[in-house]
Chain A
Amino acid sequence: MNNRLINWFKFASPATFYPLAGKMIPWFVALSVVFGAAGLYLGMFVAPTDFQQGEGYRIIFIHVPASWMSMFIYLVMAFWAALGLAFNTRLSGMMATALAPTGALMAFLSLWTGALWGKPMWGTWWVWDARLTSELILLFLYIGFIALQSAIDDPRRADKAGAVLALVGVVNIPIIYFSVKWWNTLHQGASVSLTKSPSMAATMLWAMLLVALCFWMYSIAVALGRARNIMLERERHTEWVRQLLAGKES
């Protein structure tokens, strides 16, 4: 009866998770490349040219998956943070730290591609649309998390402080989203809206989903790789790291 519990918690130790992550990374990289190639091929060559927007719309195959990932990664980060606070596991904090830069990257990518798309379509790089604004604030939240963690020297304190901040952030995200949305409708500011024609060709949807899977796999691979580095750095005084490094050198 206890076996299952032990199996779960076995990989909560960096010493056992490190090799497991090392074995998993190539698979996720391979999946990411396959999904990415398929999704981009569908998106760039197979999907029909949009009636209104021409070829320029194809940037949404990067833009939409990046936005999805930026929001999803914050949730995953908060999940790891909560786990770390509840069970006081070292690995959870490392995972949250490892995810933050990828999440910030996705948020930035989403804003950047959005601006590139907005210039030809709306004639402006930026509008104070509710979604754009809340994505920008999400980027600020990521930056705050990273800045807080990098200002604290003691890694355990950095993990816990970051965890509290991530949880406060995740409670606030819906509040921020709705306040920005209401603010936007009250001000009647942006005359253009992001809501496009509801009917989307099936190939477009497939391409978008495939690229989203590609980004998902990429994020896992990169986060695991980063977590491996964090593990080595923080556990450098331990026996297993010493053995591992000695084994690599010989």
Chain B
Amino acid sequence: MLDLLFAVIARDLKLALRRQADLVSALFFFIIVVSLFPLGVGPEMDMLRKMAPGVLWVAALLATMLTLPRLFGDDYRDGTLEQLVLAPQPLPVTVLGKMAAHWLTSGLPLTLLAPVLGLQFDLSADGLLVLTLALLVGTPSLSAIGAIGAALTLGLRGGGVLVSLLVLPLYIPVLIFGAGAVDAAVSGLGFEAHLSLLGALLAGSLFFAPWATAAALKISLE
């Protein structure tokens, strides 16, 4: 099982690294969206500092969502996905591997980049630290929950827009606790509760999402 998991992760990573343009464009999307907010609302640092957690988190949600069609789309078009579903190995484990690879290529780079963008918003050192931690715990849930939406909309016309309709409402708890953790840290309150809740969401979504995604994949490939 672990062999399968690592094999899927290694394969997906290799494929992703051969298409670096995709990775980089999602990251630049994140940077551009975050940089648009000060242009839209004005450069007052007080307001920006207040908005920073929400802006960074919403931008992270959107950037993750943009990369979701890639999760199964290429494998679906060249027929690999069908073979993965037919394979005797348990599909939820394969799916978990794909989620992990997706997070490594989308969520993790966002997390590493976020503190730099947080500096633009004049976040305090505590705030930056908690922001990074929260993104580290929160973005894997985004990949896991998003995979369900990606699997459901596989091969549909207008899949990209549809995936946002399905997935964004389900992202709301992650957004609330993720941004809440940073808010709490900035205003000097305890942020541990938020991080624990993010961890709980992560545990729940890692457990349930592979099954739901596997079921959705089977339906989509019927």
Contacts and interface: CB of A to CB of B under 8 A. Distances in A.
Interface residues of A, number: 28
A183 B176 CA distance: 6
B172 A164 contact: no
Given A143-B165, A164-B215, A176-B172, A148 B201 contact: no
A144 B222 contact: no
B19 interface: no
A162 to B, nearest CB: 9
Contacts of B206: none
Contacts of A152: 156
A176 B169 contact: yes
B203 to A, nearest CB: 12
B18 interface: no
B212 interface: yes
Interface centre among A140, A143, A161 (most CB of B within 10 A): A161
A164 B212 contact: yes
A38 B170 CA distance: 40
Contact of A161 (B169, B183, B197, B219): B219
A152 B158 CA distance: 10
Nearest to A154: B222
Interface string A108-140: 000000000000000000000000000001001
A168 B148 contact: yes
A162 B53 CA distance: 34
A140 B166 CA distance: 8
B177 interface: yes
A151 B149 CA distance: 13
Determine chain B's interface SS by DSSP, over half rule: helix
Contacts of A141: 169
Interface string B155-183: 01111001001101110110011001001
Given A151-B162, A157-B220, A164 B173 contact: no
Contacts of B28: none
A179 B177 contact: yes
Determine chain A's interface SS by DSSP, over half rule: helix
Contacts of B220: 157, 161
A144 B165 contact: yes
B169 A164 contact: no
Given A151-B158, A157-B220, A179-B176, A168 B165 contact: no
A159 B176 CA distance: 31
Contacts of B157: 151
A157 B208 contact: no
A171 B201 CA distance: 12
Given A151-B157, A164-B216, A165-B152, A137 B172 contact: yes
27 contacts: A85-B215, A137-B172, A140-B168, A144-B166, A144-B169, A148-B152, A148-B153, A148-B165, A151-B157, A151-B159, A164-B148, A164-B152, A164-B219, A167-B212, A168-B148, A168-B212, A169-B170, A172-B169, A172-B173, A175-B201, A175-B204, A176-B170, A179-B173, A179-B197, A182-B180, A186-B180, A186-B183
Interface of A: 85, 137, 140-141, 143-144, 147-148, 151-152, 156-157, 160-161, 164-165, 167-169, 171-172, 175-176, 179-180, 182-183, 186
Which 6 A-B residue pairs are closest in the complex by CB-CB distance?
Answer: A179-B173, A140-B169, A160-B219, A183-B176, A144-B166, A144-B165
